[in-house]
């Protein structure tokens, strides 16, 4: 018995060590970019910067976060992420609620149709033609509409609704409540964990979305942060960032790339701590019943 406990303890230790090593390995690229963003240019170009910064300085980060192009692109991304997340949560919840009712006629066929769209789609050209037909080219609506509802997220919320006690709805109906009242005043207030989790999924999607802006946005003034970041990373030099002669002398181009990546990542990272307490509970409860 004693040797069995020792073996279990040793196995748990090995598993923890492997998991910790894997977790730390995912942080290496981020730490490296962070170190470059606060290092001197000569150290970056000579390849001396790895996990720790060399020649610590904050001028590059300060230059990036005070640049009006960067701030404008971030404002566009925040606007799209906030509006897109709220609209997606509303549409997803309103779709999931009726589908959580097993007595709904033809529910099986509707579910199959939704799942079909999750596995197959029309492709890039039909989607582009649809957006153009809707007159949404070079419009921020083209960044929200294509990702307005995710079938996977809808199925998670549907499963969560099914896990709530039916007696709540029956009591509300006896008091004369209609479906909209039950959804918005009973079901949604009880669905905080799953809504927070799915909201985080949607927020990350809209924040990181690069492909749709590349297809549908032409105006520089409407470019979100990811498209602006692509311009900086692919074409980073003094002209693409519109540096003045004084800036060219003081701000390193390589450091600007790294600082832009860090500055564009931090806002969405700040959202996680506020939703962490809901995250595991929301995912597990919403996915137990299929």
Query: CA 37, CA 62: separation in Å to the nearest integer?
Result: 10
Residue 247, pLDDT score: 54
What is the phi-psi region of residue 47: left when phi exceeds 0, alpha when psi lies from -120 to 50, beta otherwise?
left
Say yes or no: 50 and 92 in one domain: no
Say yes or no: 73 and 103 in one domain: yes
Query: CA 261, CA 38: separation in Å to the nearest integer?
Result: 12
Say yes or no: 225 and 155 in one domain: yes
Domain count, the chain: 2
Cβ-Cβ contacts under 8 Å for 58 (sequence gap 6 or more)? 38
Say yes or no: 277 and 149 in one domain: yes
Residue-wise pLDDT for 24-44, tens only, equals 888 888 888 888 888 887 788
**C-beta separation of 147 from 84 below 8 A:** yes
Question: 21 is in which domain, residue-wise?
Answer: 1-56
Q: What share of the chain is helix, strand, coil (3-state, %, to 5)?
A: 75, 0, 25
Say yes or no: 94 and 44 in one domain: no
The answer on pLDDT for 241 being more than 60 is: no
Longest CA–CA span in the chain (Å) reads: 75
Query: CA 139, CA 221: separation in Å to the nearest integer?
Result: 11
Write down the mean pLDDT value for the chain: 83
Say yes or no: 44 and 187 in one domain: no
Examine the fold and report which residue of 56, 82, 103 is the final residue of a domain before the chain moves on: 56
The answer on pLDDT for 244 being more than 70 is: no
Residue 89, pLDDT score: 94
Examine the fold and report which residue of 38, 56, 74 is the final residue of a domain before the chain moves on: 56
Eight-class DSSP state of 54: S
Q: Give CA separation, 213 vs 102, 121, 276, in Å.
A: 39, 19, 29
Residue 287, pLDDT score: 52
Residue 85, pLDDT score: 94
Say yes or no: 42 and 71 in one domain: no
Say yes or no: 84 and 71 in one domain: yes
Residue among 206, 166, 197, 159 at smallest CA distance from 182 = 166
Give the Cβ contact number of residue 45 at 10 Å: 13
Tokens of 249: 């002398």
Residue-wise pLDDT for 77-105, tens only, equals 999 999 999 999 999 999 999 998 888 88
Residue-wise pLDDT for 134-181, tens only, equals 999 989 999 999 889 999 999 989 988 888 888 888 888 888 888 888
Say yes or no: 256 and 118 in one domain: yes
Say yes or no: 33 and 88 in one domain: no
The answer on pLDDT for 206 being more than 90 is: yes
Say yes or no: 12 and 151 in one domain: no
């Amino acid at each position: 018995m004693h040797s069995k406990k020792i073996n279990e303890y040793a196995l748990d230790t090995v598993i923890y060590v492997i998991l910790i090593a894997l977790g730390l390995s995912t942080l290496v690229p981020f730490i490296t970019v962070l170190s470059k963003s606060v290092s001197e240019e000569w150290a970056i170009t000579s390849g001396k910067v790895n996990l720790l910064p060399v020649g610590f300085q904050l001028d590059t980060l300060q230059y990036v976060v005070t640049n009006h192009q960067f701030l404008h692109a971030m404002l566009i991304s925040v606007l799209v992420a906030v509006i897109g997340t709220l609209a997606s949560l509303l549409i997803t919840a309103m779709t999931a609620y009726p589908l959580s009712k097993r007595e709904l006629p033809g529910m099986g066929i509707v579910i199959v149709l939704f799942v079909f769209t999750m596995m197959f789609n029309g492709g890039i050209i039909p989607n582009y033609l649809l957006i153009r037909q809707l007159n949404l080219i070079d419009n921020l609506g083209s960044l929200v509409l294509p990702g307005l509802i995710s079938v996977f997220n809808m199925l998670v919320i549907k499963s969560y609704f099914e896990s709530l006690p039916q007696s709540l709805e029956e009591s509300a109906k006896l008091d004369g409540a209609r479906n909209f009242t039950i959804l918005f005043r009973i079901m949604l207030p009880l669905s905080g964990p799953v809504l927070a989790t799915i909201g985080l999924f949607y927020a990350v999607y809209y924040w990181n979305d690069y492909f749709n802006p590349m297809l549908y946005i032409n105006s520089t003034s409407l470019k979100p942060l990811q498209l602006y970041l692509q311009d900086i990373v692919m074409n980073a030099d003094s002209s693409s960032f519109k540096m003045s002669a004084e800036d060219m002398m003081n701000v390193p181009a390589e450091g600007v790339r790294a600082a832009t990546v860090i500055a564009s990542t931090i806002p969405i990272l700040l959202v996680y701590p506020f939703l962490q307490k809901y995250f595991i509970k929301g995912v597990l409860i919403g996915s137990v019943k299929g």
